[in-house]
Amino acid sequence: MLESTPHRRNSFMPYVPIGGTPYVDVEGQRLLMMSGYSYLGLAGDPRLAAAVNAAVDVYGTGAHGVRALAGTTPLHQDLESEIARFTEREAALAFSSGYAANVGTIGALCGAGDHVFVDKLDHASIVDGCQLSGATVTRFRHNDPAHLDARLRAAGTDGVRLVIVDSVYSMDGDVAPLPALREVCDAHGALLMVDEAHALGVIGKTGRGIEEHYDRTVRVDIKLGTLSKGIPSMGGWVSGTPDLIYHLRYGARPFLFSAALAPAQTAAAAEAIRILDAEPQRVSHIQAESGRFRTAMADAGFNIGQSTTAIVPLIIGTDAQAYDYATTCREHGVVGLPVVTPAVPNGMARLRIAITAAHSAEHIDTAIEAFVAAAEQRVPAGE
Ligand code: PMP
């Protein structure tokens, strides 16, 4: 009955990209997309289409097997070496999604008798991976290393202790306090894993993620991410030591027992990583324009929470208010997608805005004007 619930009216709307622009066609209306995930602005890049076509010419449309049995192609090996190189690790493994990467990695590293510690706002795929692993799961307060410290102390020293955080939180756009988390992990002999889904291509001077964001003063044990956001393909990845990757090849069940990434997606992802490496100006553009957008929205009186990245929440209030505001924004020509309970706490419903390299300074100005005008319409001055 969800379809008939009026509050959910902005969900599942079909979007058609308008080639080479950040605009989309929604039911015949041309709108500026401000809630997309293609951070690097590479979705629709002809170089990726060329890589896809070349892969389809040779390999056809699917991998037709699991990686261990007939599913591995030179394209998979190329992608994994690009991921390892770009993320500054010796080895990497490509999964069929970021979700599978989290579930597979956590399950391969932890089981009954082990202990996983997750930030309260970690992504659902981390939470699901923890639950499926059979390990004991403990949550700590968001971005609170002192609380993690207390939780680790209380848990004792038996078994593997794995701490997992998002590098950039997908609903709030804030960054994990990595140096302090590393200190706590070291004090307790715990492993530290980060999910870079919203960090790769977005934070760090050249888009290498959270370690580069902190000037490489701190190192994590396991890095993981998706190939469906800044890298506009499909799939997930893990990078780390050759031993870790060997272990995951045979121990990560969603990797071992599910078909390999399609060659076309694999080729697109590898090509996108090469472009990201060659065009770091995309990353600096995201950082500069998102800074400008955050300042403008905060100055206009919006609550943008603790965002310091390309993800900027416009926190509105109740679910119904967020849906209403999203509808008004559409009338002003911009798409800002609402995120409501249970994804965010009651009363904290928001539009989740993401600044990408496809947005020029003019697009950002247009969006700022539209969001402000829509807000003024919602609460007329003087009320
Ligand atoms: N981790 C985080 C932080 C995410 O935001 C997402 C996707 N929303 C995933 C993992 C899952 O990635 P994928 O969509 O590739 O399964």
List the domain boundaries for the chain: 2-33+280-378, 46-278
Q: Which residue lies with its CA nearest to atom 15 of ligand 1?
A: 98
* Strand order across the beta sheet in which 16-17 lies: 16-17, 23-26, 29-33, 334-335
Backbone angles phi, psi at 200, to 5 degrees: -65, 125
Q: Which residue lies with its CA nearest to atom 4 of ligand 1?
A: 197
Closest CA to 145 of 81, 84, 190, 87: 190
Band (382; pLDDT cuts 50, 70, 90) = very low
Q: Indicate the fold that domain 2-33+280-378 takes in CATH.
A: Aspartate Aminotransferase, domain 1 (3.90.1150)
How far is C-alpha 337 from the chain's CA centre? 16
- Mean predicted confidence (pLDDT) in 110-136: 97
Q: Which residue lies with its CA nearest to atom 12 of ligand 1?
A: 98
The tens digit of pLDDT for each residue in 310-343 reads 999 999 999 999 999 999 999 999 999 999 998 8
* Strand ranges inside 34-113, DSSP E: 91-95
Probe target for ligand 1 pocket from 228, 265, 339, 352, with the most ligand atoms within 8 Å of CB: 228
Asked whether residue 383 carries a pLDDT value surpassing 70, the answer given is no
CA–centroid distance, 125 to ligand 1, in Å, is 7
The class that CATH gives domain 46-278 is: alpha beta
Q: Is 229 one of the annotated active-site residues of the chain?
A: yes
**Active-site residue (options: 38, 96, 170, 239):** 170
- Mean predicted confidence (pLDDT) in 60-80: 95
Q: Closest ligand 1 atom to the C-alpha of 228?
A: 15
Question: Is residue 138 within 8 Å of 149, Cβ to Cβ?
Answer: no
Asked whether residue 4 carries a pLDDT value surpassing 80, the answer given is no
- Mean predicted confidence (pLDDT) in 46-62: 97
Asked whether residue 381 carries a pLDDT value surpassing 60, the answer given is no
CA–centroid distance, 196 to ligand 1, in Å, is 9
Radius of gyration of the chain (CA): 21
Ligand 1 neighbour 197 (Cβ under 6 A): yes
Closest CA to 249 of 55, 141, 92, 27: 92
Q: Is 198 one of the annotated active-site residues of the chain?
A: yes
Ligand 1 neighbour 125 (Cβ under 6 A): yes
Q: What percent of the chain has pLDDT over 90?
A: 92
Average of per-residue pLDDT values in the chain: 95
pTM: 0.95
CA–centroid distance, 44 to ligand 1, in Å, is 20
Q: Is 38 one of the annotated active-site residues of the chain?
A: no
Please report the ipTM that was assigned to this predicted complex: 0.99
